[in-house]
Amino acid sequence: MANDNRVALVSGANKGIGLEIARQLAQAGLRVVIGARDEGRARAAVDDLASQGLVAQSVRLDLDDEESIMGAAATIAAEHGRLDVLVNNAGIFDFADGPPSTASLAAVRRVIDTNFLGALAVTQAMLPLLRAAPTGRIVNLSSSLGSLAGNGDPTSSYYSQRFIGYNASKAALNMLTVQLHEELRDTPVVVNSVSPGFVKTDLTGYGTMTPEEGAKLPVHYALGGEESGRFVEPGGETPW
């Protein structure tokens, strides 16, 4: 295992792509903090990594609960004094979502609340800690479904996937990437939107990649490079 002193927080790291991101960052030697809204599920994830000889700690982090977000930031500040890597991974999909004409408004609200406002709240809470790191890195788990260009291009493979809530939540997350990148231009903090690919997890139950494969690109951006303000997927650059 590499020896790396960096501290990384992964939200929604108790399962799916987030758990695999946590595993791969721990394998790279980082000090990983598993963010999870349920303490039992967080403990199970820590135990899972421990069974492979990997050390991780957990913190309660519910994107829909501001108090838990502020509490997580306070815990990381007290224990580490900084945060080198923030992976905004936690997210939801709702089967009551759908095309603009028929999607359930309640579902759209839920999805945007968690996927966009939740990620924004976590980012704001962690930013002072990221600024305290030598090179803070933010990876926003976006989706190619958030590409405005793809949604309006009949030749795009994402064209027919009309989920107004989910797709808009990821387009909004991309706006966070763009604006934060510009705001932090003169700082060492970098921020990117990474689409993991089409990964079979509990999110929808569908996918062609394993969570382990889906974690690779987010981990690449979490670990290094000076690139910032990009939107990428496993095949390369994604059109905004």
Binding site for ligand NAP (CB under 6 A): 11-12, 14-18, 37-38, 41, 61-64, 89-92, 114, 118, 141, 143, 195-196, 198-199, 201-203, 207
Beta carbons within 8 Å of 207's beta carbon, 6+ residues apart: 197, 198, 199, 200, 201, 214
- Annotated catalytic residue within 158, 159, 166, 221: 159
Nearest to ligand NAP of 29, 207 (CB atom): 207
Residue 165 or residue 196: which is nearer to ligand NAP going by CB? 196
Q: Min. distance of Cβ 42 from ligand NAP in angstroms?
A: 9
**Minimum distance from CB of 226 to ligand NAP (Å)?**
24
In the complex, the smallest distance separating the C-beta of residue 191 from ligand NAP, rounded to whole angstroms, is: 15
Clarify whether 159 is annotated catalytic: yes
Q: Which is nearer to ligand NAP, 186 or 202 (CB)?
A: 202
Q: HEC profile for 18-74? A: HHHHHHHHHHCCCEEEEEECCHHHHHHHHHHHHCCCCCEEEEECCCCCHHHHHHHHH
CB atoms within 10 A of CB 213: 17
Active site (catalytic) residues? 159
